[in-house]
Structure 1
Amino acid sequence: MRTLGVTTNLHVDDIAAAEGFWAGFLGLRQQEFSLGWVARYTDPDTGAHVQLVTGDATAPEDSAVTVRTDDVDAAYAEARAAGYEIVHPLTTESWGVRRFFVRAPGGTVVNVAQHRD
């Protein structure tokens, strides 16, 4: 699998309430997107970013990290062939991301995603 980027997914109870800390204090002031249950905040100068998640909209559990790839179908086949636990099956989500969740050794849930161009 080719990794194009990695984003930390942090659980928060309320994205709006957390925004002051992440966007204000830490300077991740650009909200790249918000779906209500997930939002990404970025420093427009450095590209440093974090995703805040209140609870995944379609997966049975939240992921700790999102790994962006250019071929999610191949990554899914590779994860299955390796015998890793698939937590959320390969799905094209209504917001346009094609993704699956896999459990890494040690228990961390990883969202492997391919964004549409």
Structure 2
Amino acid sequence: MTVKRIVANIAANQVGEGHKFYSELLGLKVVMDHGWIVTFAADRPAPVQVSVASEGGSGTPVPDISIEVDDVDQVHQRAKALGFDITYPLTNEPWGVRRFFVRDPFDKLVNIISHTG
């Protein structure tokens, strides 16, 4: 048996509210829209991962979702310009990532990261 994909499902009353965050901020494309569910995806496959944590590192809460990007500084600037709530500042962490936390429109805590090493 092989795990082929893991999908994060976010409960929302207004699924369309995700477009600004997941498309405009992160550049994901809508690959399915049935009105009651919208799926955003990247153009290329990503490794399958599940993390289990007691904290988010550096004393932060555990984020609901972690999204790795190629240029965290650019996404951080866009998040500020789009008016999203940045709850943990852009930080170089001692374990080799540069990241920030931001709230999506559904009040989920999203960890946006790039590896530094």
How many residues are matched? 75
SS of the residue corresponding to residue 95 of structure 2 reads coil
Change (3 A) 1:76 1:59: farther
Are the aligned partners of 1:3 and 1:68 in contact in 2 as well (CA < 8 Å)? no
After superposition, the Cα gap between the structure-2 partners of 1:88 and 1:69, relative to the gap in structure 1 and judged at 3 Å, is same
- TM-superposed CA distance for 1:70, in Å, is 0.5
TM-aligned CA deviation for residue 52 of structure 1: 0.9
| Superposition TM-score, scaled by structure 2 size | 0.58
Mapped pair 1:111 → 2:111: yes
**1:49, 1:93 → 2: CA distance?**
20
Give the CA deviation at 1:116. Answer: 2.3
Q: Distance in 1 between matches of 2:63 and 2:92?
A: 17
Q: C-alpha distance in 2, partners of 1:59/1:86?
A: 16
Q: Distance in 1 between matches of 2:112 and 2:67?
A: 5
CA gap of 1:77–1:60, structure 2 versus 1, over 3 A, is same
Amino acid of the structure 2 residue aligned with 1:57: G
SS at match of 2:91: strand
Whether the aligned pair in 2 keeps the contact of 1:59 and 1:88 (CA below 8 Å) is: no
Cα deviation 1:58-87 (Å, max 9, x = unaligned): 254221111000000000000001110001
Alignment partner, residue 9 of structure 2:
none
Question: Runs ≥4 in structure 1, deviation > 3 angstroms?
Answer: 1-4
Structure 1: gaps spanning 5 or more residues: 5-46
Letter in 2 for 1:111: N
For 1:77, the equivalent position in structure 2 comes to 77
Identical-pair percentage: 36
Greater share of strand: 1
Corresponding position of 1:67: 67
- The match for 1:50 is 50
TM-score under structure 1 length normalisation: 0.58
